[in-house]
């Protein structure tokens, strides 16, 4: 733990009127959720996560991609929010008017920890939507639903309600996240490789607008150059250490 930087960021936190937090897969790592780019295990190790997260990939192999998301949903059903999620929820509870939580995660763990108004840039793995624009016939007969579930009228498929590569982010959510980045005095960037845009651009936006930026990550990330402080530790250690007394 870099105690010098931790004390410094605590100081920024104390005087910040508005705080934005941008989280990525690393915040859920200590709950037992593999980070996005970490190799999958077992059967899924043969596929690149990136190939399972595009519309083309889904259209080419709908059952494989559906089953991969089902596998991840099953995994999430068996994990709990960790001390990092809890520290963020607790801080928001004590400082609701000055706090915005923005996440790239689709796992729902921030919400399960008690965070409210979370700006989910990449959707929600537990919500399905239609692959193609729904027609009047579109419905799912759950008694005979396949993998993926399919409309027996027109064949339209259900897909996970997450943002895939090449797809736009939800407009209103992104606008709200950009506004939070522009007006905050301090942005905490937690557990993201900072490689996927426009999410990673929020840290740059915050810095350009005059905010302090602090990164919590045990490893180097593409946003290290944007950060004023690098807290080299894990989310479940660093977030309580930073936020508990604030």
Among 83, 193, 206, 214, binds ligand OAD (CB under 6 A): 193
Give me the residues paired with residue 129 across strands. 159
* Nearest Cα residue to 65 out of 82, 50, 53, 77: 53
Structure tokens at 141: 């007969």
160 is a site residue for ligand OAD (CB under 6 A): no
* CB contact at 8 A, 58 and 142: no
191 is a site residue for ligand OAD (CB under 6 A): yes
Among 9, 20, 26, 76, binds ligand OAD (CB under 6 A): 26
Q: Among residues 92 and 221, whose Cβ is nearest to ligand OAD?
A: 221
Among 235, 241, 242, 243, binds ligand OAD (CB under 6 A): 235
Q: Among residues 162 and 180, whose Cβ is nearest to ligand OAD?
A: 162
30 is a site residue for ligand OAD (CB under 6 A): yes
31 is a site residue for ligand OAD (CB under 6 A): no
Rounded to an integer, what distance in angstroms lies between the CA atom of residue 22 and that of residue 105? 10
Find the shortest distance in angstroms from Cβ 111 to ligand OAD. 16
37 is a site residue for ligand OAD (CB under 6 A): yes
Instruction: Report the DSSP pairing between strands 212-216 and 186-190.
Output: parallel
Among 16, 22, 24, 242, binds ligand OAD (CB under 6 A): 24
Which of the following is catalytic: 122, 139, 142, 228?
Answer: 122
User: Which stretches does DSSP call E strand in the chain?
Assistant: 19-23, 99-103, 119-120, 123-130, 158-162, 186-190, 212-216, 229-231
* CB contact at 8 A, 122 and 106: yes
Among 6, 157, 163, 226, binds ligand OAD (CB under 6 A): 163
Name the strands in the sheet holding 99-103, side by side, starting at the edge strand that comes first in the sequence. 119-120, 99-103, 19-23, 186-190, 212-216, 229-231
Rounded to an integer, what distance in angstroms lies between the CA atom of residue 97 and that of residue 178? 17
243 is a site residue for ligand OAD (CB under 6 A): no
Determine whether 122 is an active site residue.
Answer: yes
Rounded to an integer, what distance in angstroms lies between the CA atom of residue 218 and that of residue 232? 5
Among 72, 85, 122, 159, binds ligand OAD (CB under 6 A): 122
Q: Which positions lie near ligand OAD, rule CB under 6 A?
A: 24-26, 29-30, 35-37, 53, 104, 122, 162-163, 191-193, 195-196, 216-219, 221, 234-235
> Annotated active-site positions, please?
122
């Amino acid at each position: 733990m870099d105690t010098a930087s931790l004390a410094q960021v605590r100081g920024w936190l104390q005087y910040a009127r508005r705080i934005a937090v941008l989280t990525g897969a690393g915040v859920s790592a200590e709950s037992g959720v593999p980070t996005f780019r970490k190799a999958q295990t077992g059967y899924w190790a043969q596929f690149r996560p990136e190939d399972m997260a595009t519309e083309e990939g889904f259209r080419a192999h709908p059952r494989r991609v559906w089953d991969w998301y089902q596998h991840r949903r099953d995994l999430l059903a068996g994990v709990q929010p960790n001390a990092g999620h809890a520290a963020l929820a607790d801080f928001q509870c004590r400082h609701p008017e000055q706090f915005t939580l923005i996440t790239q995660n689709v796992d729902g763990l921030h919400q399960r920890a008690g965070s409210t108004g979370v700006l989910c840039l990449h959707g929600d793995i537990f919500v399905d939507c239609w692959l193609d624009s729904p027609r009047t016939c579109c419905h799912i007969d759950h008694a005979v639903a396949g993998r993926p579930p399919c409309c027996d009228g027109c064949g339209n498929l259900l897909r996970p309600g997450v943002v895939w590569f090449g797809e736009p982010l939800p407009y209103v959510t992104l606008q709200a996240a950009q506004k939070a980045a522009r007006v905050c005095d301090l942005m905490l960037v937690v557990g993201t490789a900072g490689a996927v845009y426009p999410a990673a651009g929020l840290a740059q936006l915050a810095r350009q607008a005059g905010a302090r930026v602090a990164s919590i990550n045990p490893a180097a990330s593409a946003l290290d150059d944007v950060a004023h402080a690098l807290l080299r530790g894990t989310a479940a250690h660093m977030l309580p250490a930073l936020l508990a007394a604030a």
